[in-house]
Every structure is written in C-alpha cells, then in structure tokens.
Amino acid sequence: MGELGRSGIEEVLALTDRFVEVNERSIPKVPALRGKTVVSLFYEDSTRTRLSFETAARRLSADVMSFSVSSSSVNKGESLRDTVETIEAMGVDAIVVRHKSSGVPWQLSGWVQPRTSVVNAGDGWHEHPTQALLDCYTIREKRGGGDGSGLAGLRIAIVGDIRHSRVARSDVSAFTALGAEVTLVAPPTLLPPSLDGWPVQVSHDLDALLPGLDVVYLLRLQQERMIEALLPSLREYTATYGLTARRAELLRPDALIMHPGPVNRGVEVAADVADLPSSVITRQVQNGVAVRMAVLYLLLGSGVDRAAL
C-alpha cells in the first residue's frame, strides 16, 4: 500500500465508482478484459477473497482459472517457483496470489515475465491491499466528503490482533495516506513488536476511545492465539476488547462498524452489534468486487477505452 500512495489509492477509488455502477446493472458485466486470463492461486483457505476476485474478473469478461492447494501438485512437493512458472506457461495475464508467507507476491513478481501482473490477495501477516482499498472506499462512501478530501480528519480505531493481521498493516497505510487518524487497540501481546515508523496511536482502553470514533474496525481473532500464550481466554478478550452491545452504545450514531470477515460473532463483535445499521460489513463485501474490478482493470486494461465501460 505504501508504494501506491495517496494518488494511487484515489485513482483506484475513482475507478471503483464506475464499477459499483456496473454492478448495479441488471447484467453486471462489461467486455473490458475479454481475451485476458486471470488465475487465482490460493495457498490458503479463503472463501470471500477468492470469490470476490473471481467474480470481479468474470464481470470484466476475463477468463478465470482457479488453482488451490488441495487440488494441486503442491501436495506432491512441487516448489512455489515451479508452480508459478507452470501456470505462467499456460499463458496468463494476471496471477492473483494468496499465501500464508509474507512477501510471496514480491518473490513471484521477480520470477514471472514482466508482462504478467501479480496481484496480492493477502500475504502472511504483511499486506492485504485490496481489502484496504475496499475499506477506504466503504468509509469514503459512508463518511467521506465527496470533494476529494479522502478520509481527512476521520478518527479510526483498529481493534484486535494487529500483530498477525495483514488487514491491519494495509489499512494503517491506506487510512493514514488518505488523512485519517488511526489508533491501534490491542493487548501488548497482539501488537507488532515494534511500531517504529507507524503513523499511529496506541490505546489499551477501548471504552475511552469509542465516543470519539468515526470508525471502529474489528479484526478477526484466531482461536489458536490462546495456544501461543498471547491471550488467557476468548472470554477475557471479549470482556476487554470485544465490541459488546454495551460498548456499541458508546459509539456515536453515525460511527461505522467494520470487519474484514469472517466474523467470530460473540468474540470480537457481539452478534446483535454486527447486525446494527451502523455495521457496514456486508457493504464492504459488495464494494470488494468493484474494487477488485478496478484493480484488475488498471493492471490489464491498458489500451481499453474507459468510455466503453
């Protein structure tokens, strides 16, 4: 996200407007990427991101190939590089990759031909750029001034397992690039070991923070964090950092509740709270398709007349 910068983010968001409109049509499909091939290469379970990317590619009329670990030769010991070169040899224009290891998309982009685009669909704890873009789009749609002021002045808290979260890292970059003030809320065990260079505040007191927030962004808590001695129990986590019904009442009426999904109802967010009108979790998913259409279009659609959309 850092490399994209404010202008890059705004370019994607501006184009996303067009695709949101496309998605509202009775036949939500444009021929922009006809003849292009997009492969989704997912080394990690993901329902929504994968579906979202594949839907985005199909709505742009691209051909979609799907590769997942369980059905691949990865289980036969094939190396990442061999897999990627095999896929590329089939003739693809973009590889959308999800991997449990940070940095894999950067490594891939060094291995493939320059004409093949690599799209990061989430790498380890590092980045999930399209999630951050759809989050920015959703916040701007609901709370931003339509005057190009981005997210200036908005106060956003990201709550939960920041340490292991690629969403948090990308959101911090994107939100702050667009001018928002970001506070990270987590127990010390779930914060990164160092926050040197992060343009954020840190708080351990969610109650004190909630009344002043424009957005509370909750992260999914993985069950295995207890095994790693990062937390005593889910119950204690919920009591201290969960968005319970009581805490939700501390929010201003126009504050947004966001979550990258999938939601652990009753852990990081109470079931009722996730369904409140101020919760835009479903809208995030809708916008995800449009944002990913914009990203694929920007990477693959050069030479295509935008007016034809």
Partner 1 sequence: MPPFEDLTDDDLARISLPAVTFLHGGTVIDADGPRRADVLIRGGRIEAVGLQGLDVPRRAQVLDATGCVVAPGLVDLHTHLRQPGREEAETVESGSRAAALGGYTAVVAMPNTEPAIDCAAVVKEVQELGRDACCEVAVAGAITVGRAGTQLAPMAEMAALGVRIFTDDGTGVADTRLMRRALEYSSTVSRPDGTGVLLAQHCEDASMAAGGAMHEGEWSSRLGIPGQPHEAEELMVMRDLALARLTGTPIHFLHLSTAGSVELVRRAKAAGQAVTAEATPHHFTLTHAAVAGYDPVFKVHPPLRTEADVQAIRRGLADGTIDAIATDHAPHAAEAKEAPFDEAAPGMLGLETALALALTELALPIADVLALMSWRPATIAGLADQGRPVAAGEWANLCVVDPAATWTVDATRLASKSTNTPFAGRQLTGKVRHTVWRGEAVVVDGEAQR
Is residue 101 near partner 1 by the rule CB under 8 A?
A: yes
CB 119 within 8 A of CB 95: yes
What is the Cα–Cα distance from 10 to 148, expressed in whole angstroms? 8
Is residue 196 near partner 1 by the rule CB under 8 A?
A: yes
Is residue 98 near partner 1 by the rule CB under 8 A?
A: no
Residues 143, 145, 149, 150, CA torsion sign: positive
Dihedral angle over CA of 127, 132, 133, 136, nearest 10? -160
What order do you get walking across the sheet with 63-68 strand by strand? Answer: 63-68, 37-42, 94-99, 117-123
Can you give the length of the chain in residues?
309
Cβ nearer to partner 1, comparing 185 with 281: 185
Q: Provide the token pair at 83.
A: 């897999």
- The site string for partner 1 over 122-141 (x = CB under 8 A, - otherwise) reads -xxxxx--------------
What's the CA angle centered on 285, arms 120 and 26, to 5 degrees?
110
Is residue 268 near partner 1 by the rule CB under 8 A?
A: no
Cβ nearer to partner 1, comparing 36 with 126: 126
Out of 140, 166, 247, 259, which residue is the one contacting partner 1 (CB under 8 A)? 166
Q: How far is CA 167 from CA 70, 85, 179, 252, in A?
A: 25, 28, 18, 24
Is residue 192 near partner 1 by the rule CB under 8 A?
A: yes
Total binding residues toward partner 1, as defined by CB under 8 A: 26
Is residue 104 near partner 1 by the rule CB under 8 A?
A: yes
Out of 21, 106, 148, 207, which residue is the one contacting partner 1 (CB under 8 A)? 106
Among the residue ranges 87-95, 120-128, 204-212, 282-290, the one whose residues contact partner 1 (CB under 8 A): 120-128
Window 56 to 85, contacts with partner 1 (CB under 8 A): 79-81
The residues of the shown chain that bind partner 1, judged by CB under 8 A, are 79-81, 99-104, 106-107, 111, 123-127, 166, 169, 192-198
